[in-house]
Structure 1
Amino acid sequence: MKQKGLGRGLDAIFGSDPIDVKLKPMSEMAEIDIADIIPNPTQPRTQFDEEALDELADSIRQLGVIQPVTVKRTDGGKYIIISGERRWRAAQRADLKSLPAYIREVDDENLHAMALVENIQRQDLNAIEIALGMQRLIDECHLTQDALSEKVGKKRSSVSNYLRLLKLPDEVQLALKEGLISMGHAKAIAGAPAEQQLRVLKRCVKKGLSVRQAEELVRMLSETPAQPAQPEEEEYPESYSRLVELLEPCFSQEISIKRTKNGGGRIVIGFSDDKDIERFIERFSQRS
């Protein structure tokens, strides 16, 4: 799922200063030993596609590093990556000893912001990684949501939507992180009553609901008067699902299996009218 860029991008970080002031932090370029480059501990991305890294490494072996990485010099003589960690990782796989790099002088607040913005614009951070990056900026740089929205060039409402994701149950966050649901699904789930959010998640994943269908489900749940807590829906053996699949071609209506605590149960076959019954009989007659 392709992510959208963050509005005004890196320009949002440095504001509207004259061009010569903006260029000062990136006035130095050098070839730096890979061993002296370290990843950004505040890097918002937590997952890297191994296959994509191998492909990038092959490209680097053939063409070299076309675009320099951007780094910040530390007091200990090392260089922290601001942007280009994928290139740095791939260059290591390609057995390069050094990398071309822009050296920028930035404070910690702008280092965090630049890493977040660069990652969102250039690669597919998932929504949870974006939300965690934003929350880290708020916590460590003492930013308000308004200040953060200015920093990363996003509307305040978008910032709020991302931060709301971190209040969702862990199961919902994991499903979003692994691509089982989209940001739209997660926003819909966030609008459901807290006790119903996992139920909505299960319906979205099992039934393959669209975002609109998820929103409609949440609306219905929100309008329904509160009911006494129901026991969690029981997970049935795989054989039950296979039985339903075998019966569906015969009945073409909703089929459900309910199992009681003593191990018995019932199979419920829905039908619309008497004509459905006649059709059921006809189909069984053809099979006998």
Structure 2
Amino acid sequence: MAIVNDPKRRALGKGLESLLPRREPAAVPRIQAAEETAAPVVAVAPVGKPLEIELDKISRNPFQTRTTFDPEKLKELAASIAASGVVQPIVVRALGEGKYQLITGERRWLASFEASKLTIPAIVSEVSDEQAMEMTIVENLQRADLNPMEQARAYKRLSEEFKMNQNDMATRTGMPRTTVTNYIRLTKLPLPVQQRIESGELSFGHAKILSAIEDPDRLMSAALRVIGLSMSVRQTETYVHGILNPESKEKQQKLIPELDPNVKEIQNQIQQAVGLKVKIEDNEGRGRVIIEYKKLHDFDAILDALGVKR
């Protein structure tokens, strides 16, 4: 699991342990692998102690907030598991009849299949649906590569399926309430914008600012401009402020990214040639050259510089 130094995430230091119910040890079944014995042999172990559970006895986590896994990273993890085994046990809950449901550790579970393992170390925990989903969200919050939209939809599920308010979600997951609010707002963005957040074209910071635009068409147009000009979050903030406050046109002019040094040099050369203020707006090879003049005499100078006959 990746270690994140973001101060906002330090509140998560309580970790998954704080969500695991503290109960007296109870006996749970352990179904041994087929090659150990021809007949089913049941062993018992206390809750909280890792057991070796057959992979095909475990079903996927219905509350998993992640929807995609990097195939290359999964192969790397599988190679590591094949060589050294699973270092950190997954967490499951018993479903009865020797079946289990995954709570946390889906990547380790999938990679173990790819590594041709038969069993995986797992901690069996007695938790409710709500607790299982909380544990999944907290685990994913502690991962640096979690997709913002996946997290946003998880918070929305907590709200809709478990009727949790934003204060409860903030307390349970260790996140500021304002951050929870901003994540949930992402789920109200137009689908094409959500897709660009998932693809990484827009960051959580960009999306949070863009969500202030209520009109879907204007929002989509603004998102495409932010992507096209590779705006920073600060530039996006100024840009959106200009959209919401049309009188601040001056601020919008500052949004154009700094010119490539070569383009800037050409701009200076043209400026010296015509003796007037010149501005080049370039966006990946496309743009325009603007020559400003204040008097008719200046306009005549432009025509002379261009060799235009009058």
Which TM-score tier does this pair reach, normalised by the shorter chain?
Answer: 0.7 to 0.9
Q: 2:244 aligns with which of 208, 222, 225?
A: 222
Higher helix share: 1
**In structure 1, C-alpha distance between the alignment counterparts of 2:244 and 2:174, rounded to whole Å:** 33
Which letter does structure 2 place at the counterpart of 1:270? I
The ranges of structure 1 where at least 4 consecutive aligned residues each deviate by more than 2 angstroms after the TM superposition are 2-17, 20-29, 248-256, 272-282
Q: Is the 8 A contact 2:55 2:109 kept in 1?
A: yes
Which letter does structure 1 place at the counterpart of 2:241? R
Which letter does structure 2 place at the counterpart of 1:101? A
Pair 1:86–1:92, CA change in 2 (3 A) = same
User: 1:65 deviation in Å?
Assistant: 1.1
Matches for 1:15-164 after TM superposition, within 5 Å:
21=23, 26-164=47-185
Q: Is the 8 A contact 2:59 2:101 kept in 1?
A: yes
Pair 1:10–1:109, CA change in 2 (3 A) = farther
Matched, 1:205 2:227: yes
| Percent identity of paired positions between Structure 1 and Structure 2 | 33
Matches for 1:177-216 after TM superposition, within 5 Å:
177-194=198-215, 195-216=217-238
Q: 2:187 aligns with which of 158, 162, 166?
A: 166
List gaps (5 residues or longer) in structure 2.
27-45, 248-262, 271-277
Mean Cα displacement is larger for which, 44-53 or 134-143?
A: 134-143
What do you get for the CA RMSD once the two structures are aligned? Answer: 3.3
Which letter does structure 2 place at the counterpart of 1:144? N
Match of 2:291 in 1: 271
Pair 1:179–1:160, CA change in 2 (3 A) = same
Question: Number of residue pairs matched?
Answer: 248
**In structure 2, C-alpha distance between the alignment counterparts of 1:213 and 1:80, rounded to whole Å:** 45
Pair 1:52–1:280, CA change in 2 (3 A) = farther
Match of 2:12 in 1: 8
**In structure 2, C-alpha distance between the alignment counterparts of 1:160 and 1:255, rounded to whole Å:** 37
Pair 1:280–1:114, CA change in 2 (3 A) = farther
Pair 1:149–1:255, CA change in 2 (3 A) = closer
List gaps (5 residues or longer) in structure 1.
226-244, 257-266, 283-288
Which letter does structure 2 place at the counterpart of 1:32? I
Pair 1:170–1:22, CA change in 2 (3 A) = farther
- Provide, for residues 100-139 of structure 1, a one-character-per-residue CA deviation record: whole Å limited to 9, x for no partner: 1111111110000101111221352111100101111111
Q: SS at 1:181's partner residue?
A: coil
Q: SS at 1:270's partner residue?
A: strand
User: 1:23 deviation in Å?
Assistant: 8.4
User: 1:144 deviation in Å?
Assistant: 1.1
User: 1:13 deviation in Å?
Assistant: 8.2
Pair 1:279–1:134, CA change in 2 (3 A) = farther
What is the TM-score normalised by the length of structure 1?
Answer: 0.75
Which letter does structure 2 place at the counterpart of 1:269? V
Q: 1:175 aligns with which of 186, 196, 201?
A: 196
Which letter does structure 1 place at the counterpart of 2:148? A
Q: 1:254 aligns with which of 257, 263, 280?
A: 280
Which letter does structure 1 place at the counterpart of 2:11? G
User: 1:15 deviation in Å?
Assistant: 7.1
**In structure 1, C-alpha distance between the alignment counterparts of 2:24 and 2:218, rounded to whole Å:** 49
Which letter does structure 2 place at the counterpart of 1:271? I
